A and B are shown apart, each in its own frame.
Chain A
């Protein structure tokens, strides 16, 4: 850790976590940060950054050693996503999406399925996406219309998905489709099916033009008589909804980590600017109104970070309330990132509103953390339900 670098807490982290975080921080500062503005401006997936993450085993973090991974715990993954997002939210998202797509295989895949798909994901040679959302089914997955109809040893999938991160560049997409339309409970109608994207009938309908995380492609998918072996189904028929919800318990902390990382990047940029920008004959950092902004930004980022770390420990320890912890972490971190980046723009004044400095990008990037993997309203719904069920 350098003395001039960011203040990074070390309590509770293991030696292994500290070493890996430091290695990812150096990569983020020296290799990713110089690319961040161009990635945002160009709005194309940064293949060079994907190679960088692959070469340095960053993709390997959340995978078991027998699949070529590092066998690290959830908190270690979160530390890596946080450090990458500090420099570039798109880059943090590359790791978060890879992990998100792999979780259904990790929690519901057979040993044979895991051996088939996970090593390529751990090495970064293959990319994966997670496809639940549809044009008319976002917060409410019971509205999912994509159908998977059994035909011998295959499913034939028809329908489409929308707002799917990495779907246009992925080798695999985990598709949630209706296999049991007659099931009495909507939560028993879905199945999770891994689709190789080179199969006939798989089509990328378009990619979106987005406000932020612009290097991360977000695609609309169309399935037209897409034939996939039944052997590609993860878990049992009708378990899809449960698999998706369990996935979010481990993936939402990743979005919270992205949010904390973006906020941290904004705090550091604003503090550096406050030391250097002079008005009224002195650095604006000496003005109490600026100091108050900076102090609140720093304190709330730290608070969100430690809530997230605690959530990771609870989830990893197998708490019965993992969904609540994941929701709380994402809710607080996402709202913190939005507020902190908005205040960072305020510290910069007019300079914060133009792309000469990174804070306007950070503010645009922060917004998505309040929207995807469940809007903040859905997170509040989860927290409130958990609270009321115990009262």
Chain B
């Protein structure tokens, strides 16, 4: 089983230091970075599959070369090697460009499964993994909660989260799967994993190495960020007082009105 996992370095949500720099681009120096959460769930699932079935987990990242530090965290969890697409022309790349570049880089690798996060915690476009599948002409199974490949039949069965539970879908391999938190808690890297990750191979590819003209001819990305607004602050909460039974009824009505229960 060969599994390629797309992992993106994103600002560490725990650091609460994410901010924008010039041109409404993420200021990557402002915050420590971690592997995007949904990517990490996919990586954990991939590592468990390979532990059971044999094979290798490789990671694919498009990031500035500073992204290597975050890739090492993914390698420390147990991935065998990494592929980094880094190019001075790429910072600020929009979603279609990111899809083209990652699809092109993935095509240089052999894999049975290509995993990516359902979305990322920084850009949150939620289109890249699906876009890469489309670009590669491979089947996509989205919002995975469980991944069960069957090497004999060359098919993968996936529990896809739905509004009411999950659907079970099957796709021929190679296939692309977008990953969610429902796959399970990522492992902590072991100290030996951290040490050995320092010597694992990370291949760096430039756009020229990918052998394709991936940049727009006029230097303009097809889509641009025009404006960024912080989410509105939370409104003050409402306190319900009174006898316990009445208060409970009022809370239940409140939730039922909003179809939350």
Where the two chains meet, the residues of A that have a C-beta atom closer than 8 Å to any C-beta of B are: 1-4, 16, 19-20, 23-24, 26-27, 30-31, 55-58, 60-61, 70
State the main secondary structure of chain B at its contact with A. Answer: loop
Instruction: Select which of A2, A3, A16, A60 is within 8 A of B192 by beta carbon.
Output: A60
State whether A57 touches B15 (Cβ < 8 A): no
State whether A4 touches B16 (Cβ < 8 A): yes
State whether A57 touches B32 (Cβ < 8 A): no
Determine the distance from Cα of A58 to Cα of B195 in the docked complex, in whole angstroms: 12
Q: Size band of the B side of the interface?
A: 10 to 19
Where the two chains meet, the residues of B that have a C-beta atom closer than 8 Å to any C-beta of A are: 12, 14-17, 31-32, 188-195, 198
State whether B191 touches A56 (Cβ < 8 A): yes
Determine the distance from Cα of A220 to Cα of B108 in the docked complex, in whole angstroms: 65
State whether B15 touches A4 (Cβ < 8 A): yes
Determine the distance from Cα of A27 to Cα of B17 in the docked complex, in whole angstroms: 22
A1-B32, A4-B14, A57-B190 given; name 20 further pairs at CB < 8 Å. A3-B16, A3-B17, A3-B32, A4-B15, A4-B16, A20-B191, A20-B194, A23-B188, A23-B191, A23-B194, A24-B191, A30-B188, A31-B188, A56-B188, A56-B189, A56-B190, A57-B192, A58-B191, A60-B191, A61-B191
State whether A16 touches B15 (Cβ < 8 A): no
Instruction: List chain B residues, Cβ under 8 A from A24.
Output: 191
Whether A26 contacts B194 in the complex (CB less than 8 A), given A1-B32, A2-B32, A3-B16, comes out as no
Whether A70 contacts B195 in the complex (CB less than 8 A), given A23-B189, A55-B190, comes out as yes
Return the 8 tightest CB-CB contacts between A and B, nearest first.
Answer: A57-B191, A3-B15, A2-B15, A57-B192, A57-B190, A56-B190, A3-B17, A2-B14
Among residues of B, the one whose C-beta sits closest to the C-beta of A54 is: B190
State whether A3 touches B191 (Cβ < 8 A): no
Instruction: List chain B residues, Cβ under 8 A from A30.
Output: 188
The distance from the CB of A2 to the nearest CB of chain B, in whole angstroms, is 5
State whether B188 touches A26 (Cβ < 8 A): yes
Among residues of A, the one whose C-beta sits closest to the C-beta of B192 is: A57
State whether B192 touches A70 (Cβ < 8 A): yes
Instruction: List chain B residues, Cβ under 8 A from A26.
Output: 188
State whether B191 touches A2 (Cβ < 8 A): no
Among residues of A, the one whose C-beta sits closest to the C-beta of B189 is: A23
The distance from the CB of A181 to the nearest CB of chain B, in whole angstroms, is 45
State whether B16 touches A27 (Cβ < 8 A): no
State whether B195 touches A3 (Cβ < 8 A): no
Determine the distance from Cα of A305 to Cα of B191 in the docked complex, in whole angstroms: 23
Instruction: List chain B residues, Cβ under 8 A from A20.
Output: 191, 194-195
Q: List 28 A-B contacts (CB under 8 A).
A: A2-B14, A2-B15, A2-B32, A3-B15, A3-B17, A3-B32, A4-B14, A16-B195, A16-B198, A19-B194, A19-B195, A20-B194, A20-B195, A23-B188, A23-B189, A23-B191, A23-B194, A24-B191, A26-B188, A30-B188, A55-B190, A56-B191, A57-B190, A57-B192, A58-B191, A61-B191, A70-B192, A70-B195
Instruction: List chain B residues, Cβ under 8 A from A27.
Output: 188
Determine the distance from Cα of A20 to Cα of B190 in the docked complex, in whole angstroms: 9
Interface centre among A2, A16, A27 (most CB of B within 10 A): A2
The distance from the CB of B138 to the nearest CB of chain A, in whole angstroms, is 36
Determine the distance from Cα of A20 to Cα of B194 in the docked complex, in whole angstroms: 8
The distance from the CB of B31 to the nearest CB of chain A, in whole angstroms, is 7
Among residues of B, the one whose C-beta sits closest to the C-beta of A58 is: B191
Instruction: List chain A residues, Cβ under 8 A from B17.
Output: 3
Determine the distance from Cα of A57 to Cα of B196 in the docked complex, in whole angstroms: 12
Determine the distance from Cα of A333 to Cα of B251 in the docked complex, in whole angstroms: 54
Determine the distance from Cα of A18 to Cα of B46 in the docked complex, in whole angstroms: 28
Determine the distance from Cα of A2 to Cα of B30 in the docked complex, in whole angstroms: 11
Among residues of A, the one whose C-beta sits closest to the C-beta of B30 is: A3
Determine the distance from Cα of A24 to Cα of B195 in the docked complex, in whole angstroms: 13
Instruction: List chain B residues, Cβ under 8 A from A19.
Output: 194-195, 198
Interface centre among B190, B195, B198 (most CB of A within 10 A): B195
Determine the distance from Cα of A56 to Cα of B191 in the docked complex, in whole angstroms: 6
Instruction: List chain A residues, Cβ under 8 A from B188.
Output: 23, 26-27, 30-31, 56
Determine the distance from Cα of A262 to Cα of B14 in the docked complex, in whole angstroms: 24
Determine the distance from Cα of A73 to Cα of B195 in the docked complex, in whole angstroms: 14
